[in-house]
């Protein structure tokens, strides 16, 4: 069942219950606030929606129209140059002020086990077009949380939408002991500003997650890289008692292990929500694809919406 609780004149929280599982979503940022089994929450975050506002880790929000980085905060499309905001050194990260995750959404509809939020996002930040976005969160009694996106625009615009939830399957502590597996024979090597340089094979490297490996076993657990799926768009993670399986229709996933998450704001219930307390599996097209014709990507067109779906399946081991 779904339940709507109004917090103030701007924001409500929508709760979805399905058997032993539950999830809740804020209308601010379309933030996925909780994802629980029998009350055990596997998402890090904050106690109030106000604490999410302006958080530099983009915790749990829907990021769009373009998640990840665009080099030099600029791109050329159809012979036109588009200049974006520089909010990550010389680059644009997560759409700058255009970002869907910093806006107030409205409840479009609910049913027994899902909620659809919608957003009208006017042209801003250098990205062309006025955008209409819808995100539907659906929860099953088996623990499958589906996130379905529909993005349209009245002009052609690159689109790379994701959810920036950070998982901690144990609920507390750091995530370096979590074991990760990603069906990704390739990853994107990046430069010092985390802009992709080239595709490399993962086999035999610190980026080889073809079999489960503890996050902290290599590189001191520090990852902020795009992994390119092979035959299956699939990743999984294991904590002490819970397992998470992720599937998607997108070609890649950004694994970010939260190295730079701020620890100045207490997390839910006073728990720490700082560096390495959660990992993100951001399903996506390749970063910087508007500047890289060799990278896969997608564009909204007038009258031609873009749709994608990612599913997170939470199971007790």
Q: Is the peptide bond before 65 cis (omega within 30 degrees of 0)?
A: yes
Q: Which of 61, 85, 282, 284 is catalytic?
A: 282
SS3 249: coil
Q: Check if 178 is active-site.
A: no
Q: Which of 33, 58, 131, 164 is catalytic?
A: 164
Q: Which element (helix H / strand E) includes 33?
A: strand 32-37
Q: Check if 164 is active-site.
A: yes
Check residue 27 and report its DSSP letter: S
Please classify residue 60 by burial: count the beta carbons closer than 10 Å to its beta carbon, then call 0-12 exposed, 13-18 middle and 19+ buried. Answer: buried
Two tokens, residue 308: 């994608």
Q: Phi and psi for 219 in degrees, rounded to 5?
A: 55, 25
Q: How distant, in Å, are the alpha carbons of 9, 44, 88, 200, 246 from that of 175?
A: 36, 11, 25, 26, 17
Residues marked active site are found at 164, 282
């Amino acid at each position: 069942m779904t339940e709507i609780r109004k917090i103030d004149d701007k924001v409500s929280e929508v709760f979805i219950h399905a058997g032993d599982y539950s999830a809740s979503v804020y209308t601010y940022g379309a933030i996925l606030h909780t994802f629980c089994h029998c009350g055990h929450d596997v998402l890090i975050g904050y106690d109030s929606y106000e604490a999410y506002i302006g958080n530099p880790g983009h915790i749990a929000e829907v990021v769009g129209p373009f998640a990840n980085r665009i080099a030099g905060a600029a791109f050329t499309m159809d012979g036109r140059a588009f200049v974006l905001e520089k909010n990550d050194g010389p680059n644009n990260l997560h759409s700058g002020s255009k970002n869907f995750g910093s806006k107030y959404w409205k409840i479009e509809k609910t049913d027994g086990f899902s909620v659809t939020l919608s957003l009208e996002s006017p042209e801003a930040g250098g990205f062309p077009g006025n955008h209409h976005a819808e995100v539907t969160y659906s929860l099953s009694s088996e623990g499958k949380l589906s996130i379905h996106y529909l993005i349209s625009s009245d002009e052609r615009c690159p689109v790379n939408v994701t959810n920036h939830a950070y998982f901690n399957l144990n609920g507390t502590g750091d995530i370096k002991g979590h074991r990760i597996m990603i069906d990704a024979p390739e990853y994107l090597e990046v430069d010092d500003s985390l802009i992709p340089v080239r595709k490399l094979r993962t086999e035999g490297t610190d980026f080889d997650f073809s079999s489960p490996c503890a996050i902290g076993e290599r590189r001191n657990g520090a990852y902020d890289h795009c992994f390119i799926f092979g035959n299956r768009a699939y990743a999984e993670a294991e904590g002490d008692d819970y397992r998470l399986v992720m599937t998607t229709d997108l070609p890649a996933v950004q694994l970010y292990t939260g190295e730079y998450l701020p620890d100045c704001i207490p997390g839910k219930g006073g728990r720490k929500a700082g560096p390495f307390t959660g990992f993100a599996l951001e399903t996506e097209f390749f970063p910087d694809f508007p500047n890289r014709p060799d990278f896969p990507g997608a564009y909204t067109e007038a009258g031609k919406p873009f749709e994608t779906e990612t599913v997170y399946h939470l199971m007790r081991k």
